[in-house]
Structures are given as structure tokens and as C-alpha cells.
Structure 1
């Protein structure tokens, strides 16, 4: 379906034409007509499917048809990075409509907070916010929400996982009773459905099946022990064809150590984690986007909150705990009809997790032999518990120490 068939106002269509938006994605084709009718909606769609435009275009269309200097829509998101990214997308889509927007998030300086307050007071049309900072504004000043028509929860599953349920309910209590509520989630577990029943009215459900990894992604796996991972990573990064790389690690401490080690090797790498000041995080993303930084190391917040075309390699330094997170992670590459490579390091302890990933995507991931000179990695046997002899020796050593202490006592 073409965007010209949705009946948007000419100003919005002009903006889409300038951005070369022509054919709607499945999530856009199914949800835009529902949103234009005014129904509440639950939509299950992954990052990278075009869901931001799916809800923003009908909202911008509504704003353009009834121009007012008032808050018309609030989009709630889990992270600062996602708030900034959506606000940038809104600016592009709304260029000819005159609609205004602002991203509201914590972590900035006092000047940024005052700018946010002023925009709210002056009636900015669209607010993209993280829950904590929005509550701060709602409780510290009078916010006129009488003209609000749309409230969107984007990546609702992430927000619930991060413990924002009570914050969301508190925000909803400030909103007018008559409004359209839209909930977008990458997954649809029971807790999301139960939560939706609390705040949505007779919602229409749209479920875009969890997409398999793009055919443009060359997926590979190495069976390695933890002590082999760094040396293997260094060898992989010697390939000059990998010009833009994201490395995922599940722990913030691992992110920091990896970034430091790669920097010591002369690799343009930056760690991306919550301990960084907001200005530093934005600077890192900007430099990575412009190819000034070759390697970005981070946790799963990157897999959902940053949309950058042209990433040539994704490395899972460890296997993600949730199989669907694997699809999100490797989905950072091969975007917008490009190709890319996704490599996962599978140690002896993560094999069962990796087997669940293969079950989800419906096929085995190709296992690559370790480079010449490496000791053999663990055998792939997901049904078996960790069989790393080094782990057993370490355990026995600790056990012997405890025994000696007891003996001396």
C-alpha cells in the first residue's frame, strides 16, 4: 500500500515525499487506518518494522487538520536515546505541517530542564518522554492536557521490564478521560495484555508475527570458552570490511572492560552504558553514526534504542538471555535492504540459551571453526550442563581452600 492512499493532508504527504517514503510496511498498513478511526490499539511489532511512523503519521495528520498551540500527543518511551531518535524522526516527517515536538528526558543540565518546561508551557504539540522526567514536570508545574488526543506507549514491554508500570499508571491519571491510547510492544506476554486491560478501552489488536532475522544477515557462531573470547574478537576486527561494528554484552562491567581493551589495541571503540553523562552518550552515538567511532560496545539498550543504517557487523559477546533479544540485536545490521554479519560467541554455559534461539528462528546457525592456533572450544551439547574442566578445577580449588581452613580451625 502506498502512503498516498491513506488520505493524509498534503503537507504531510509532501514531507513523506521528501523523505522518499513510498510503500507502507505491514505494521503501517494495518495500524494507520485503525488509528485514524480513533480506536484504542495494542500492536505487537519489533524494532525496525516502521512502527514509529505507524503511529506518528496519523497523529501528525490529526495535528495538521486542527492546528492549535497545545499538547496534542504524548509518546512514552523507556530510554533517552529512543526519545531523541523519535523526536528527530518527527521533525523530518512534520517539516511541512508546522507541528512542534520536544524530547523530554532526565540526565541533562538545569538549562535543559528549563527549556522543557518552557516548551510544555507554550503548548508544544507532541511530547516524547521517559516516564521519570515526565512525572517530574507533571508534579512540579501545571501542565495543560485538556487538548490531548493521543497517548502512545512505545516499547511497552521494555518499560514494564524496567519497572515503570506504576509510573505509567500515575501518568495516565493526569490525562483527560477522552483520548486515544496506543500500546506498541515488541513482545506480547501475558503481563502486557493484563496491563493493557487496565488502561485501554476495547482495544483493537494487531500482531505482526515476530519476524525472523533478515535474509541479508550472515549469521555465524563460535563455540568458545570465556578466556578465548577477547583474542577471537581482536582477530575478527582485523577484517577491514567491518567498518561499523556493534558489540553486545549483557553486563555493564563487561561493556567497560571490552571498550578499554579494544582502545588499548588502537581500535576506535567506545563503551555505551548508563554511567555516562547524557551529553557523552549523545556524542558517542553521533560519532558512531558519522563513522568517527568504528566499534560501539553496549548492552541491549542499543538493540532497541538506536537506529543506524549501514552497520556491517554485530557481535554477541555473550548469548542474550531472551531468544527474542537475539533477533533485536542482530537486527541492527542488514537494515534498509543492506547486508551484514552477525557473530555470536557461545560458551559452555550458554549453549541451552543458544539452542532456544535456534528454535525461535527455525534453523541452526552455522558454527565456524576457531582460527588456527586456538585451543579447541567446548563441544556443542545444549542438553548437557557446563562441562568446562577449568570451571571444575576452580571449584575444586576453592573447595580445597575451605577444607584447609576448617582443618586449621
Structure 2
């Protein structure tokens, strides 16, 4: 096993080295090289490492080193999500196949009784905080013989509100134990856990496994009313391998996936609202490339190591730079090129400006391509399937608030005027506003779109004049329901000949 010399020097045992030889591993990753010797010495380690950095092998080596067969649960790996639980358990089972350990996966959405039976014969448990607490309360899980506690993706557990649960679990563990914590970012709350519960620690930081020179970050600035149309166009036209599209809410993820299917693109949504067996099937199909486009929320995708992702789209801009880094870190791995595409409109401006100011890399504004607009269905509303040609190339100037660069005089990002121009005419009723009505039939004539010629006005003008496309129905001169970009001055009630229920005029909001 000459090729495994570097792993041998880290102190790994023969049983694990044989598995690494089978996997054709030759060089340890940065986090493995820095952490494995410390872990094997029994140190409490805090590792700053991103998804796909090889940390599972790092903490797995420590677990295998001190665990004995048939002595009860001796190792607990705590993770934030079901998918990461399955992923970590699968990796640990493979790495430990020459040891003979039993490993239990413990998460919600599946039978407690089946888990109880598995826990009874297991030495290692990988689980989510909520379900681990369930078993502790039932008495089906105890940590009397626990030797090592691992917190994987600790920052995400805190972000998801699991800190109280994590503390309860830690308090149920023996005081004499080894502690390992791995986190993409070390927040104040993560530091609090370390100070309070981990004793003396060794902190290490691994280099990112994302190659910045291979990652292109761009953004398009468009009216909300054509945001989906641009995404649809890019997914059709961009040459890609696997694609991940991020949304901030479950509702948005479902909506985008359903509309992409309507227009002929096979896409699947994954989020915490789906049954566990369905989520597992979705991820299996994505890993095997049976599904090429995954629409996801941060919660569902966090911590998953997915190879072959060439494009990451932010349909909704995340609220923090940390979430942004987690998202774009899915691509440009292992020396391959990657692309992070941000599609922004008014609701995204604040988040995006904060991210650009905090980002250490440049996010360039791209000239809008020529694309056809489509009429997506939002929520449970039923809209027409008509399409319009969206002609004209962008002159490169920003529509809406400009993010293309800083103002030459003030050094600040400029804010343009904000009034969406008409993109066509509705035959459902004469539209005296500037937005196109989606309730009536589409006129055969199309308008030419140029972001350089759009003249945005402030959002307060939009509220009073209903700028942006109307989604309520046939327009009679004002808004046909609440506008996609802002609130209708008439209170969201259409003046058209058709009345609509409240569900048909609900604003498509960027909710978390």
C-alpha cells in the first residue's frame, strides 16, 4: 500500500487503510491532515471545514479508534438534517466495514420502534437533535458508555434553532469524553458551545475545497415579473451538469419546480416538508444524475456532499454571507469549473447588497440575454399558458437599483428609478397601468426588452400606480389583483369584470 504512505503517517489503522486503498485515496485533504493526528491522540478538536472537505473520515478515524464491538453506544454523531444523517451514516458504514461496527441512523419521519431495535445492537449512533431527545426521554437510548461526541455542521444546528436541544443532549453525556466539532463557520453560538462544554480544545482551519479561480460569480437584475422567465431561459440554454437552484422557502421551491415541469424541464424540489422516503429517493436520483435540476432550500441541502454540480442558481438571495458561501460552495470543486448565478429583483436588493459588501470576491453583473417570457403559476392560482417574446439585448445598464458597480462620485451603490415598462398588451381588458395583465389572453404582439431603457421609480410610486405585472385577472385600468412587485393601491381588489378570491391575489412574498 505504497500509495497510502501519507495516510499511514497520520496514524490510521490497517482496517481503515484497506478501505482507503479500495477507494483509491492517495492524498489526505487539508482537514484530514491537520485533524486526524489530534483526534487519534484523544484531543478535543474544533475544525472549521466546509462540506466535501473530508471531515467524515477525520472524525470517523477517531470513533473507530476507541470503539469496541458489543459494548453499547460509545459514539454519537449529531447532525442538523435527515439527509446529512443518512450521508454521514453511509460513509461511516463504508469506512468501518472491516471493523464490524453496527451504526444506527436516528432521525424523524420514520418508525421509532425500528430505531429502538437498531440502537440496541449499535455501537455508533448518527442522529438529529429532535429524535435523539425523543429516544433519551423514552429511555431507549442512554450514554452511560459514551466515549466520543461529534457535532457535525454545528453552525447549521444553531441556525436552525437546535441550540437548546444540543445543550440538553450534551448534558446527558458523560463528562469524561472526547469532543469533536466541525463547522463551516465559527459563529458566536458555536464558540459558546465550545467554551461551555468542550473543555480545552485545539482549533484548526482547513482551506476551502472550492477553487475561487474556477468559480464564476455573476448576477442579473430584472423585474420580479420576469424573474422566473430568466431562470427558465438560463436552465434551457446554459450547458451544465448537475444544477442546484436555491430558494428561501418551501413554497418557492415547490412553485419553481412545478412551473419548470409545466414548461418542459424536469426538476424536483426538496425541502423539510417532504416525507423522508421521498427526500431520500430525490437525493438518490440526483446523486446518480437521473435528476439534473434540484430546487432546494438551505435546510434540505445543508451539509450534503454532492459531486458534479456545475451551476448554482440563487433564485432567492439568502439573508447572510454565510448562507451564500454555503450555497456557492457546491460547485467549482476538485479542479472543475463552476458558476454561481444570482437572479435579483427588488425584494433581493438589501440581502444582495449586504452580501456584496461582505464578499471577498467579485460578483459581476451580466448583460441580460434575449429571452422569451412565460407565465408561471404561483400558489394555487390558474393562469394562462401564453408566452411572449422577450426581445432586445440589454445594454448592460442595471434595471432597478444598480449593482453593477459603485457610483463614481459617492463610492456607493447607485439606486436607479423604478418603474417597469409595459411588456405587451392584454386583450383581457385595456391596461392603463404599466404592468401587463396575466388574466386575459396574450396579444400576439411582443415588446422589446432592454434593461438599459427601463426607468425604475421608487417602490412608493409602484404602490400607488401598480407598476409591475398584474396577476389578478383581466385588468380594467388599474391592477388586476396585487402586483407582483408591490401592493396594489386599491387594496389588492381588481376592478376587472371577473372577481377573484383572496388566494388569487396573494402577494408572492420572500418569506423564510
Q: Normalized against structure 2, the TM-score is what?
A: 0.72
SS at match of 2:236: coil
2:17 maps to what in 1?
A: 13
1:203 maps to what in 2?
A: 201
- Write the distance in 2 (CA, Å) between the matches of 1:335 and 1:211: 6
1:389 maps to what in 2?
A: 419
- Write the distance in 1 (CA, Å) between the matches of 2:416 and 2:300: 29
2:250 maps to what in 1?
A: 252
Return the offset for 1:246: 0.8
- Write the distance in 2 (CA, Å) between the matches of 1:203 and 1:312: 37
Listed as ranges, the matches of 1:303-382 within 5 Å are 303-372=301-370, 373=391, 377-378=399-400, 379-380=402-403
Q: Indicate how the Cα distance of structure 1 residues 236 and 89 shifts in structure 2: closer, same or farther if over 3 A, else same.
A: same
Contact 1:213 1:331 survives alignment (8 Å): no
- Write the distance in 2 (CA, Å) between the matches of 1:182 and 1:364: 34
1:232 maps to what in 2?
A: 230
1:128-168 Cα shifts (integer Å, max 9, x gaps): 10011111111112534332110011111111121112211
Of 346-355 and 171-180, deviating more is 346-355
Alignment RMSD (CA, Å)? 2.3
1:256-311 Cα shifts (integer Å, max 9, x gaps): 11011001011111111122111111111111122222211011124423221112
Q: Indicate how the Cα distance of structure 1 residues 394 and 375 shifts in structure 2: closer, same or farther if over 3 A, else same.
A: farther
Q: Indicate how the Cα distance of structure 1 residues 370 and 44 shifts in structure 2: closer, same or farther if over 3 A, else same.
A: same
> Which structure: greater helix fraction?
1
1:89-114 Cα shifts (integer Å, max 9, x gaps): 11221122222212110012x3xx22
Higher relative contact order (CA 8 A, sep 6+): 1
2:43 maps to what in 1?
A: 39
Structure 2 counterpart of 1:56, from 43, 57, 60: 60
Q: Which runs of 5+ in 2 are unaligned?
A: 371-390, 407-411, 421-458, 466-486, 492-512
Q: Which runs of 5+ in 1 are unaligned?
A: 403-409
Return the offset for 1:56: 1.3
Q: Indicate how the Cα distance of structure 1 residues 144 and 351 shifts in structure 2: closer, same or farther if over 3 A, else same.
A: closer
SS at match of 1:321: coil
Listed as ranges, the matches of 1:276-291 within 5 Å are 276-291=274-289
2:474 maps to what in 1?
A: none
Report how many residues are paired: 396
Return the offset for 1:218: 2.6
Q: Indicate how the Cα distance of structure 1 residues 235 and 144 shifts in structure 2: closer, same or farther if over 3 A, else same.
A: closer
Structure 2 counterpart of 1:243, from 241, 244, 247: 241
Q: Indicate how the Cα distance of structure 1 residues 360 and 385 shifts in structure 2: closer, same or farther if over 3 A, else same.
A: same
Return the offset for 1:225: 2.1
Return the offset for 1:337: 3.0
1:407 maps to what in 2?
A: none
